[in-house]
Every structure is written in C-alpha cells, then in structure tokens.
Amino acid sequence: MAILTQVRDPRVQDVTVTRVEMAPDMRNATVHVSVMGSLAKQELALRGLASSAGFLQAQLADRIETRYTPRLAFKLDAGVKHSIEIARMLDEVLPQEPLPEGEPNDGQPSSDDGPNHPREQPQDQA
C-alpha cells in the first residue's frame, strides 16, 4: 500500500504489486510489479521505484519485526499484460457464438418483456 499512497515520485503511477519473492535468508525481496501504460512509462515507473527503495524499506522496517529488513528490488511482471493480449487475440480468432433468436445482446430480458409492460389483449371478433 505504501507504493500507491506514500511514494511521492511522479514516475510511480499505475503500479500494481503482483507478487513478492523472498530470499531464504529474508535479506532480499524481489517485488514484481505490473505497470499499465507504454514501455517508456513502465521503465520510468521502475526507475522511480528503484529510487524510492530506501524509503519503502524504512516503511517496511516499521511494520515488520525481523532481525533484517529485506532489500527491495523491483521487477516488471508482464503476466497481466500478457494475459490481456492473449484474451484479445482469442477474441479475434475464435468465432462469435450466435445468439438464439429473439434473445437480446446482453442476455437480460428486454424492457418490453418486463412485468409492468401491458400485454396486448386479444380483440373479440364477433
């Protein structure tokens, strides 16, 4: 949470921590982050995080009780962007399933099928 709320570096924007890997001796931690935006924006965010590492380590030291405060290293996690790209490609390649006849696009009943819609009454033909 400190990355999003307490780091005041303008380069650190649209950053999401996806996972953290700790070394067995707990002296080092690799923080995997996802950054939405262009490659240049991602590189800027990583540099901003690297320059804020000391501040973040101090915040971490205040929150955990261990003999050593882990040194933080930041690594770009392309997993989120990769899964979005795969989903986009699948949407392009896979055929769209046709909707059953008379079913609206969103799967919800249409407004004229609701309980407040007056149904037409059959007219008596005498």
What number of H helices and E strands is found in the chain?
A: 4, 3
Q: Per-residue pLDDT tens for 46-70?
A: 999 999 999 999 999 999 898 899 9
CB 43: neighbour CB atoms within 10 A? 13
Comparing 4-18, 19-33, 91-105, 112-126, the range with the smallest average pLDDT is 112-126
**For the chain, domain boundaries:** 2-79
Whole-prediction pTM: 0.65
| 2 confidence band (pLDDT: 50, 70, 90) | low
Token pair for residue 81?
A: 């962007």
Token pair listed for 96: 């769209």
Q: Which single residue is written with the structure tokens 């896979």?
A: 94
Assign domain 2-79 to a CATH class.
alpha beta
